[in-house]
Structure 1
Amino acid sequence: MKKNLNGTLLCVSLITWAVTSQLAWAAARDGETWAGEYSQASTLCTEPDSGRSCANAFSDHLSIIEDSTGYKVELHSTQAMQHVCSFVLRMKPEAGKLIHDSASGRVAIERRAGVLRVSSGGVDPTAAGLGVCGAHADIDGLTFSSSGKGG
């Protein structure tokens, strides 16, 4: 009986170690994939008076920092008529995305073919809804190239 108990304990220990290792590996892989600083020209930027592009004058930034409670995500984007979208949100990984739920709606970031895509499901991003964008700016569909990842 003692021999069977030792064998059982060894199996349980090995299974526990394997599961713990897999969870740690997945967490490390997820952190490597999401965490970083992403920056690019503000391709949606236009000048207020002329409507000309001001993409070279401004940069859009996305910062994703992993911590013990999920991710701190900061976004700043200059868009039409130099209206800005800007937020700092707590996001949690869920089904391959980073998610932030609020009373106004859900903001998500997902990976697609070399880009990180921000979506808000059509929820109004201005003061009437999420309150993160000026009247002529939107986060829904905003993308950041994963090749622009730094740090």
Structure 2
Amino acid sequence: MFHLARHSDAVVTTAQSIGAKHTETAAFTAALDHLAEEDLAGRVITADALHTVKAHASYLHRRGAHYLFYVKTNRAALHAHRAGLPWKQVGWAHDEGWQRNRDRFERRRVKVLAADGLGIAFPMPPRYCSSSAAPATSARPAPRRRRSSR
């Protein structure tokens, strides 16, 4: 079963059965087809790395939705492109700082970089996100120390 849920309250808005000869990636668009245009247009759809495919990005763009997909090594060309961007030259567009959430500390930060030449439709400039988490203790995690290149 493939579920779509709202981030705000974790309510499942629709579900799609995944048959024996079908895959989770095929269920992605089938589940979203159950949503009316006004329920999808302008919304941000998040998905794990399995759904970071051009067909899903194009589908959401056609339906007027925005998306946030994780980029991992299962998309080698996209991962290499992302890794080659000038991350150190760009400041943080947003940084919430360390916050306690459930049983861990989390830090959510966002950098915004252009991603030209990928052949993917972007409703707005793509945003590459970074987050960190650590087990909750009595204090927030210490800042990471950079290793010297000696």
TM-score, normalising length: structure 1: 0.27
Higher-strand-fraction structure: 1
TM-score (norm 2): 0.27
Greater relative contact order (CA < 8 Å, ≥ 6 in sequence) = 1
